[in-house]
Structure formats: structure tokens, C-alpha cells
A and B are shown apart, each in its own frame.
Chain A
């Protein structure tokens, strides 16, 4: 391992300082550690080293070595390799570290390497809070990279191939969404659920799309339930006292109508009948719909106690 790291540090130091694209041959002849006698052994070693640097975030790119565009060489632009010092205080780094340890993605935490890059931090004791935002961080990271670099993303959704311009990425109600218009209809921003996207490919050509000014990812995320409207039917539901407080808390737009020693009656707008029926079932026989009669009928037919 020692020799590998030495060699890669030498390679990176060279690429960061040489100031021009350099061919693999020049690297082989110049950088210490690439003295493998066989061409194939050199090629394998060099490919592995480049891959490793790229996984760490080092932007090694291929460019023509001169204006004649005959040969290609490797370059790491210092301004792409490093970030301007964000000026974190130690307290800020520790706060970030604590958050990073507590927020997971499908069980996986952000690597400590991220904090090390920002100057390291002293870990404090665990927070009394934790979150799992689901999904695979590598895929999320790739899509995040595509969104921030404004690269097109291709995938299959509902069995149809899509070519999208991802304006944003967001998380709501336990799901991740790619917020993107399809290439043929740039004005309609759709929210594609990540767990339903298949065969995802990121277009790595140099072409970048424009993100419209004023795009707000929050507004492009789907609403849990559409906001209620004046025309929505109002259900009057009677809950047993022991579940009424939970029901009132969960129901958006609920208004208490009456209360007795053993029940509470509330009115609430029904924005989706099937959603409402599912929610009512959760209360088992501790709640009943009082009115309107057609909703009572609909519920009882759905449940299978009336035909």
C-alpha cells in the first residue's frame, strides 16, 4: 500500500504543477513509481491510479496536448481540484460532522472523508436525533452531480424511455424525486420518483442545459394531498374519544363540531375518496362516517359490508 500511495501522490503532484496536458508516456518516463518494464503492467497500474484519484473527487481530464490535436494528455486543473477555503470554524465542522453521522441514506452515512476534506473535526457525543433519507447515496450523488453540472439524465420511467434536463433534486414524504422537464417539453416540470427510475444514464457530453432563473425545487415537489377546495365534499366523522385527538391531529382542515364524554365529531374536507377510506380503516370500529350518506354508502361498499 505504501508504494501505491507514494506513486499516486507523485502523480497528482506532477499533474497539478505541470500546467499542460501530459501523455501517459511522459508520465511513465517522468513520474517516480511508473517504472514497470512491461507496457501492459504500466497501463494497468496507471489506469488503476487514475480511477482511484477520480473516486476521491480529483478531476483528471483528457485534453489535446497541442493545437494540432494529434495527441491526448492528462491534466488536473488546480482550480478544479481544490475549493476556495470555505472558512469553517471548528464549531461549524463539528456541527456538520454530528449531522453527517446522524443522517443516513439507506443505512449508509456520509463518509468521514467529506469532513476531513473540509479540515477535519472533533466528534462530539451522538445527537438525540437521527434520520434515514433512504436510497443509495452513490446514485443520489451521481444525480446530484448531474443536477449541479446541468447534464441531461436519461432513464426509463413507466416503461417509457425519457430524456430529461434535471433542474433539481428533492426529498419529500420518504421519497426522492428528480425534478425535470422532458427534453421535448421544457415548460412542464415533472417529479420523477427515484425508486421508479430504471436504466439511469447521465449524459457526460460537454453539452449543458440552462436552468431557468427562479426555479424553486420546493414548489416542484409533489404535494402529499392536493390542497382542499371549496367544492370538496365535507365528511362528518364521529370518533371515539380515545382516538379523537390522534385523528384531529392527522386530518388537514379538520373542524370540531361537537364533543360528548365518549366521542368527538369533526368535519373534514375529502380531497381523495380512496385516501379517505384508507385513513378511516386505520381507526377500525372506533370511528364512523355520519354524513354525507353517499360517502357512507361508498365506504361500506368498498369495505365489503354492503353490496
Chain B
């Protein structure tokens, strides 16, 4: 079997060659940084390997000529490897989507705008006529991003999704995330004393404070995940075919019944979240099992009834 490592190594060699051929006398250190080599030894190994390859005949005039002289690299007799390889479809889409998403999220550096311009001219011609990434970005995203880049603490007024409780929190932002169609702020919430994720459309007010903090520059994976916990409550229910979207939007386990309905089981940290969903689904839901959620549905109904019965 050919391993992924072989593929990665070969791909890097085929990418590095055109650049070194174009930059005759390129410095070893620069090649290492530019192409993500771990160290000089790894690069030299690759250069030695290239040195013994070439065209049939495989004599001195047929092999690729590689010279390393005082930490400068010279490659000759490899014209056929002198132009950059085309991208695979996932690579092209990945770069375009990344570039275009960043541009839409505002404050993109001009270098990125011109890079995407070149991508859609030379690498994937006319891509803008057949792909589109819609990442609607509220103004607050740029504001929060700016604060994070300056490592300034932000004071946010947050209206909790489950309870509608309004709290004021000082947050040491780590990143602004776009996930599943929503924007989020992630960072250390001083009130909770731990990392928290806030949905940006639930932030009622933002104030950038002058206070700075040490920002964790580690990798950000861009995912907002549901984190299961022992304290979660569980609920099971049956939905009709028209409510299939529930299984696509929420982390649930779903089993299709013979009559076309689906039995869904979900875990939630707050029973109210499931209660709202089930009331929303109305008559499309039957056979609900899960004491906490059923109690929460009843309590929500009572609160709504009280709201409508109280004269205002």
C-alpha cells in the first residue's frame, strides 16, 4: 500500500521543484519554512532523491541536476517540473471557499482580495460564475474580531438562548467562529471562569475595554460542538416525515419506522431547549418519553398561558 506519507512527500517535492527552479540559488532556510519541512535533513533527503531521478537513459545528462552550495540550492535539467502543478478539485474549492468566506467576513487584508482574484483568474478560471459562499456577517463580527486582535477584554450583555436570562460578562475573546449558519464568539468568560461560546445574534451590547490579556494563539478548529455531559437529560419522541429536518439540525439519534415516521432520541443540557422544539413541532410529535422534558413542556405552557391571561 502506498501511504499518505508517501503521497504528501511526493506532492511536496513536486511543489517545491518549480519554485526552486524559478528561484535559482534559493536559500535552504527559506525552502524549509516555505514548504513546511521539519528540518534541513528532511529537505536534503528530498533533494538527494530528486538527484537520482530523470529521463530514460538515466545517465549524467538525463538526471536532474541538484547542487547545494553554501546553503543555496540550484536545480537544473528539470524543465518538465518547472511549472506549478494544478490543484485537485478539493484543494481548489478549499482555497476558494476559505478566501471568499474571509473576504465576506470583512476586514480581509487586501492581499487576500488580490489572491482570490488571481485564483479565479489563473487557477480556477471564472469560479465566481459557478460557486458562491454566502456568509452574512453582522457588524459585531468585525468589532469583536478587532478587540480580539488587540487582545482587549470585551464586556458583553448576553441574552441566554435557553432561558432568555440577561447577563453582563467580561470575555477574553479567543476567536469569532462561523458554524452551521451562525456566528459565535468563543473565549474565556470571567464570570464562568471557563471557556464559553456565545451566539453573536444573542449579544445585546458590546463594550471593548482597555484591559488586555494574553491571547492563546493556538489552532482554532472552527467547530461549535455539543459537549455531552452526565447532567444531560434525554427525551425520545416520534415525528412524521415532514419533520425530518429535526434530525438534520440537532445532534440526535434517529430510527426510521416502517410507517415513514421517525423515532428520535436526543440529549440536551437544558430540558427547556427540547420542550420548545417539541411544542414547535406540535401535532407532528407523538409518544414523548422523558420526565424532565415533559415537565418542562407543561411548565412552558403554563407560563405562556399566564402571559396571555394577565392584563397588560
Contact = CB atoms under 8 A, between A and B. Distances in A.
Interface string A111-136: 11111111111110111111111100
A141 B15 contact: no
A296 interface: yes
Interface stretch (A35-43, A63-71, A226-234, A279-287): A279-287
A170 B131 contact: yes
B99 A96 contact: yes
Contact of A6 (B2, B53, B88, B202): B53
- Closest 10 A-B residue pairs measured CB to CB? A141-B90, A110-B94, A174-B181, A145-B89, A120-B34, A82-B83, A130-B222, A86-B122, A114-B91, A92-B115
Interface string A181-223: 0000000000000011000000000000001000111100100
Interface of A: 1-2, 4-6, 8-10, 12-14, 16-17, 30-32, 48-49, 51-52, 55-59, 78, 80-89, 91-96, 98-105, 107, 109-123, 125-134, 137-138, 140-142, 144-145, 147-148, 167-175, 195-196, 211, 215-218, 221, 238, 242-243, 245-246, 249-250, 263, 277-278, 281-288, 296, 300, 302-305
Interface residues of B, number: 120
Interface of B: 1-3, 5-16, 18-19, 31, 33-36, 49-50, 52-56, 58, 64, 78, 80-81, 83-95, 97-99, 101-102, 105, 108-109, 111-112, 114-116, 118-119, 121-124, 127, 129-135, 141, 145, 148-149, 159, 161, 163-164, 166, 173-182, 201-202, 204-205, 217-224, 248, 272, 276, 279-280, 282, 300-301, 303-308, 312
Contact of B133 (A52, A56, A170, A300): A170
Given A82-B83, A141-B93, A168 B132 contact: yes
A302 B301 CA distance: 11
A4 B99 contact: no
Nearest to B17: A9
18 contacts: A1-B3, A6-B53, A12-B14, A81-B83, A81-B86, A95-B115, A96-B95, A107-B222, A109-B94, A120-B36, A122-B34, A144-B92, A171-B132, A217-B129, A284-B164, A300-B305, A304-B279, A305-B308
A103 to B, nearest CB: 4
A1 B178 CA distance: 40
A100 B36 CA distance: 15
B35 A116 contact: yes
A144 B78 CA distance: 32
B215 to A, nearest CB: 8
B89 A141 contact: yes
Contact of B84 (A48, A83, A103, A278): A83
A87 B83 CA distance: 12
B119 A5 contact: no
